[in-house]
């Protein structure tokens, strides 16, 4: 069984959910039980079926939203997905924008 990941006050959790057609990313503050920001392939700015290019855009966008909230460090929660393909592309795009995890 997988260990449950928990974010802290200074390191919120970036949770990734992937369905067959779309990919969703949300930053969760587990301490206050709030979603700080979220984006998906269904968002008006993207609105395409998920692939690696779309995952990179989502990673870049979520990193920019985190920077606006002065958050530079996160905990990466990939759920039950393996670190490959779209998940990897999203994570690397987020790292390239300067977010540490």
CATH number of the domain that residue 92 is part of: 3.30.420.100
Say if 1 falls within a structural domain: no
Q: What is the pLDDT of residue 2?
A: 62
Question: Is 37 in contact with 69 (CB distance < 8 Å)?
Answer: yes
Say if 53 falls within a structural domain: yes
pLDDT bin (cut points 50, 70, 90) of residue 100 is very high
Say if 8 falls within a structural domain: no
pTM of the model: 0.92
**Can you tell me the mean pLDDT for 29-45?**
93
- For the chain, the domain total comes to 1
User: Which domain, by its residues, includes 72?
Assistant: 13-96
Q: What is the pLDDT of residue 7?
A: 79
Residue 13 CB: number of other CB atoms within 10 A?
19
Residue predicted with more confidence, 49 or 1: 49
Say if 69 falls within a structural domain: yes
Across the chain, what does the average pLDDT equal? 92
Say if 88 falls within a structural domain: yes
């Amino acid at each position: 069984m997988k260990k449950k990941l928990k974010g802290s006050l200074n390191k919120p959790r970036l949770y990734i959910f992937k369905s067959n057609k779309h990919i969703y990313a949300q930053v969760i503050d587990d301490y206050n039980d709030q979603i700080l920001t979220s984006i998906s392939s269904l968002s008006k700015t993207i609105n395409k079926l998920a692939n690696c290019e779309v995952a990179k855009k989502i990673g870049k966008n979520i990193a920019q939203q985190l920077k606006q909230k002065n958050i530079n460090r996160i905990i990466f929660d990939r759920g039950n997905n393996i670190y490959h393909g779209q998940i990897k592309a999203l994570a690397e795009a987020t790292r390239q924008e300067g977010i540490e995890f």
